[in-house]
C-alpha cells in the first residue's frame, strides 16, 4: 500500500514540469479503482516549513490534498477548534523528527 503524500491537479503538475516517477492503482472511498501517475519531486512550503514530496496527479473536481505524511514530515498539526494548520507547539522553531529504535543495525543483507 502506498500512502499518497499530496495531490495536485494535472494542469498544475504540467505547469511545474514535474516528471512521472511511476504509476499506481488508486482505490477511492467509493471503492472505485483507477491507475494514476505519481510525479516528483515538488518542494512544498507550509507555515515556513519546507519538504520535498512526490505528488499524485488528479483531474479537477476535488480539492487538492495535503496528506498525513506531509503534515508529519513538516511537523505540523491541525488545531481542532479552529481547523487551521500550525507548527507543532512542541517544536515551534523547526520540524522535529522522532526516531524510534532499540538497537543499532549491524548488517544489512540484500537478497
Q: Regarding predicted confidence, which is higher, 91 or 100?
A: 91
Q: Name beta bridge partners: 38.
A: 22, 56
pLDDT tens for 38-72 read: 998 888 899 999 999 888 888 887 777 778 888 88
Report the pLDDT value the prediction gives residue 111, as an integer from 0 to 100. 45
pLDDT tens for 65-86 read: 778 888 888 999 999 999 999 9
Q: Which of 77, 78, 73 is nearest to 95 (CA)?
A: 73
Report the pLDDT value the prediction gives residue 28, as an integer from 0 to 100. 80
Q: From residue 60, how far is each of 5, 7, 8, 64, 72 by CA, in Å?
A: 18, 11, 9, 9, 26
Report the pLDDT value the prediction gives residue 104, as an integer from 0 to 100. 61
Amino acid at each position: 500500500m502506498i500512502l499518497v503524500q499530496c495531490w495536485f491537479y494535472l494542469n498544475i503538475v504540467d505547469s511545474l514540469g514535474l516528471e512521472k516517477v511511476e504509476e499506481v492503482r488508486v482505490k477511492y472511498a467509493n471503492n472505485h479503482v483507477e491507475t494514476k501517475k505519481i510525479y516528483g519531486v515538488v518542494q512544498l512550503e507550509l507555515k515556513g516549513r519546507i519538504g520535498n514530496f512526490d505528488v499524485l496527479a488528479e483531474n479537477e473536481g476535488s480539492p487538492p490534498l495535503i496528506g498525513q505524511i506531509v503534515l508529519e514530515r513538516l511537523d505540523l498539526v491541525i488545531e481542532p477548534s479552529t481547523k487551521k494548520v500550525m507548527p507543532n507547539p512542541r517544536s515551534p522553531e523547526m520540524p522535529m523528527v522522532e526516531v524510534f529504535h532499540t538497537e543499532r543495525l549491524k548488517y544489512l543483507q540484500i537478497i
